[in-house]
Amino acid sequence: MGNFLPPKFVIATGQFVWTKMWQIMMSNLAPKDAKGAYVRPTSEFREAVGNSKFPPESGRYRLYVGMSCPWAHRTLVVRALKGLQDAIPVTVVHPSPTEGGWVFDSPQFNCRRLAEFYQKAQPGYEGRATVPLLWDSQNQAIVNNESSEIIVMLNNQLNEFAARPDLDLYPEALQSQIEEWNAKIYPAVNNGVYRCGFAQTQQAYDRACEELFSTLDEIELTLENRRYLCGDRLTLADVRLFTTLFRFDAAYFGLFKCNRRRICDYPNLAGYLRDIYQLPGVSETCDLEAVKRDYYGNLFPLNPGGIIPSGPDVDYLRQPHNREAKLEIGKRQ
């Protein structure tokens, strides 16, 4: 039958059908505003360890994470840096496109999907079932599913159980500076890569892409004269940036159309990425193969063929970073 149809008609029909299907799938994957820009829903569980309801205790709380998720990765990095592995156990979940979300390797409380787990904790819950998830095993309750708040708790509230309690990633003297960086980096970089990848109009994509690379350029200049964002010490601002940078060249550059430059094309950002990756315990939280598998294999509207790229090689992260020299440069200025 195709031999009797004009090629232009076949192509136009295919484009129309695929575009409509893509729009439907994207509306489920990524909510948008009137201009087609991605709008990330807010986290809904916002309790805190440290109050009377959730007192600090070793072994009481569990983290549910996905190894490909940058937001969950933040919590794993802080857990490793603080030495909280014995105090905070971890359960890893995996994305399943056929089941529409995160699933367990083996059922948890008779739940196969993380969405069922959320509903068990809060009957009638209809929000997103996201990671990271901080769980209170004693009360069988969700404490928090907002990564930016969980990492503060891990830094501040469990020091008596930490192997490195003196490491403070959120020191009071730097908190205003840390929050200034967070306010800049979250919309333009952490969420900015998603705003590029999930944009549903050219206008929305162009704006997100411009903000992303303008901010990366600014950070590159800042890191010319200092080792970390706030000076000579690592903070939660660096942790929050690191997990996006780690995924950038492998996933966001190609799949999310963030392809003006790679992180490895920025001398300071590339060295900074290697510096943090090589801190004790951090590399063990990094699973580049899971990142590629989950992004390319599960985001069907962005990669319908499901083909997973072979690179980049993680060995580049083990090369010397030479970031110590930035301390001396900063001191001389």
pTM listed for this prediction: 0.92
Using one digit for the tens of pLDDT, what is the confidence trace for 296-308?
998 888 898 999 9
Mean pLDDT value across residues 305-328: 89
Q: Pick the catalytic residue: 38, 61, 64, 69?
A: 69
List the beta strands (DSSP E) in the chain: 61-65, 90-96, 101-108, 111-113, 133-136, 141-144
Least confident of 99-113, 140-154, 216-230: 99-113
| 194 catalytically annotated | yes
Q: Which amino acid is at 57?
A: E
d(CA 210, CA 188): 9
How many C-beta atoms lie closer than 10 Å to residue 94's C-beta? 16
**CATH 3.40.50.150 holds for 172-332:** no
Mean pLDDT value across residues 95-100: 84
Mean pLDDT value across residues 162-178: 98
Closest to 215 in 3D by CA, of 185, 172, 240: 185
Q: What residue segments make up the domains of the chain, in order of their start?
A: 61-161, 172-332
| 258 catalytically annotated | no
Q: Would you call 95 helix, strand, or coil by DSSP?
A: strand
pLDDT for the residue numbered 126: 87
Using one digit for the tens of pLDDT, what is the confidence trace for 182-218?
999 999 999 999 999 999 999 999 999 999 999 999 9
pLDDT for the residue numbered 300: 85
* Spatial contact of 133 and 114, defined as CB atoms under 8 Å apart: yes
pLDDT for the residue numbered 32: 74
pLDDT for the residue numbered 27: 59
Same fold: 61-161 with 172-332: no
Scored b (16 or more CB within 10 A) or e, 289-299 reads ebbbbbbbebb
Using one digit for the tens of pLDDT, what is the confidence trace for 251-296?
999 999 999 999 999 999 999 999 999 999 999 999 999 999 999 9
Provide the phi-psi class of 162: left if phi over 0, else alpha when psi is between -120 and 50, else beta.
beta
Least confident of 58-62, 222-226, 301-305: 301-305
Maximum alpha-carbon separation in the chain: 77
**CATH 3.40.50.300 holds for 61-161:** no
Q: Is the pLDDT assigned to residue 309 strictly greater than 90?
A: yes
Q: Pick the catalytic residue: 118, 194, 266, 295?
A: 194
